[in-house]
């Protein structure tokens, strides 16, 4: 089941759980504390109006997961251009690895609408593998490659950090690469498989 929240509502949920949301908030200037306070007030009002935190509505589960997310390792999946930079305003998926087998996925649009769902680690590996395999086989879908009518996206990146070192899988049409600490890693003699590439970044 997917749960939907706005940026404002998510800030309010995090505040009620006494944590700071560490994922994307595309409609807010997160460096401005006054704006976050105003967002939390708006979000709390919106949550109350649509009774999103009532028992059975799923809000308590999401609040608990948001509380755990502050200290979790994350992986981020996003579209990239030919230079490897992220392509706005496409959706971004952040995966919070909550320990044991549980993963919280937050897929957020440029409009600041978050779709949450809970996965297990094997399902996450399968999901990422399927997406990477599709990009290798067919490239990025045409619907996702245009911004203001201009082709922009050339591939897909899945990025995480382990012990302070950035690790990224980059998939483009016909190829997949692994980049660690900014350096492209030598591929095995028969090339990277999708599974091997994801294992290199501990996913």
Higher per-residue pLDDT: 109 or 189: 109
Average pLDDT, the chain: 89
58 and 94 inside one domain? no
- From 38, 70, 102, the end of a domain falls on 70
Q: Is 77 exposed, middle or buried (0-12, 13-18, 19+ CB in 10 A)?
A: buried
- The per-type count for the chain, helices as H runs and strands as E runs, is 5, 11
pLDDT in tens, 39-74: 999 999 999 998 877 666 666 778 888 889 988 999
pLDDT in the model for residue 121: 94
Answer yes or no: do 65 and 2 share one domain: yes
pTM score over 0.85: yes
Tell me: do 59 and 84 sit in the same domain: no
pLDDT band at 202 (very low <50, low <70, confident <90, very high): very high
Q: Determine what percent of the chain is predicted with pLDDT higher than 90.
A: 63
170 and 79 fall within a common domain: yes
CA distance 104 to 28: 22
One domain, residues 101 and 155:
yes
Percent of the chain that is helix, strand, coil (3-state, to 5)? 35, 30, 35
Residue 114 is predicted with a pLDDT of 95
User: What does the block give as tokens for 192?
Assistant: 């990277």
Do residues 51 and 136 both lie within one domain?
A: no
Residue 60, domain extent: 1-70
Instruction: Kindly give the interhelix angle for 59-69 and 7-16, rounded to the nearest 10 degrees.
Output: 80
pLDDT in tens, 123-153: 999 999 999 999 999 998 755 555 555 557 8
What's the pLDDT at 82? Answer: 84
Report the Cα 199 to chain-centroid distance in Å.
18
Q: What CA–CA distance (Å, rounded) separates 102 from 175?
A: 30
Query: Does one domain contain both 147 and 175?
Result: yes
Euclidean distance between CA atoms 14 and 129, whole angstroms: 30
Domain boundary among 48, 70, 92: 70
Which residue in this structure is represented by tokens 């879908």?
141
For 85, the token pair is: 């930079």
Residue-wise pLDDT for 69-93, tens only, equals 988 999 999 999 888 888 877 789 9
Torsions phi, psi for 175 (to 5 deg): -155, 160
| The token pair that represents 97 in the structure block | 């690895």
Question: Are residue 60 and residue 79 in the same domain, yes or no?
Answer: no
Asked whether residue 110 falls in the same domain as residue 31, the answer is no
Enumerate residues 6+ apart whose C-beta is below 8 A from 71.
none
Q: Write down the pLDDT at residue 170.
A: 97
Q: How many domains does the chain contain in total?
A: 2
pLDDT greater than 90 at residue 201: yes
Both 199 and 151 in one domain: the answer is yes
Q: Does a cis peptide bond (omega within 30 degrees of 0) precede residue 17? A: no
Of 104-118, 142-156, 161-175, which gets the smallest average pLDDT? 142-156
Residues 130 and 162 both lie in one domain? yes
Tokens of 95: 């995966």
Residue 144, pLDDT score: 56
Residue 142 has what pLDDT? 58
**Looking at the structure, do residues 193 and 168 belong to the same domain, yes or no?**
yes
Which of 21-35, 57-71, 132-146, 187-201 reaches the highest mean pLDDT?
Answer: 187-201
Domain boundary among 43, 70, 97: 70
């Amino acid at each position: 089941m997917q749960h939907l929240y706005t940026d404002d509502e998510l800030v309010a949920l995090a505040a009620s759980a006494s944590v700071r949301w560490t994922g994307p908030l595309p409609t807010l200037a997160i460096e401005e504390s006054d704006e976050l306070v105003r967002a939390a007030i708006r979000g709390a009002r919106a949550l109350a109006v649509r009774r999103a935190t009532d028992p059975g509505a799923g809000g308590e589960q999401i609040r608990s997961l948001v509380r755990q997310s502050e200290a979790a390792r994350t992986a981020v999946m996003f579209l990239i251009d030919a230079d490897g930079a992220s392509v706005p305003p496409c959706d971004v998926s952040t995966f919070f690895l909550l320990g044991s087998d549980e993963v919280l996925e937050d897929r957020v649009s440029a409009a600041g609408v978050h779709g949450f769902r809970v996965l297990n680690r094997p399902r996450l590996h399968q999901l990422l593998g399927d997406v990477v395999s599709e990009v290798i086989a067919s490239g990025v879908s045409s619907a996702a490659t245009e911004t203001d009518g201009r082709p922009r996206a050339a591939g897909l990146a899945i990025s995480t950090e382990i012990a302070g070192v950035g690790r990224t899988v980059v998939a483009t049409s016909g190829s997949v690469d692994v980049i660690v600490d900014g350096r492209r890693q030598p591929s095995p003699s028969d090339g990277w498989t999708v599974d091997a590439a994801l294992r290199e970044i501990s996913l």
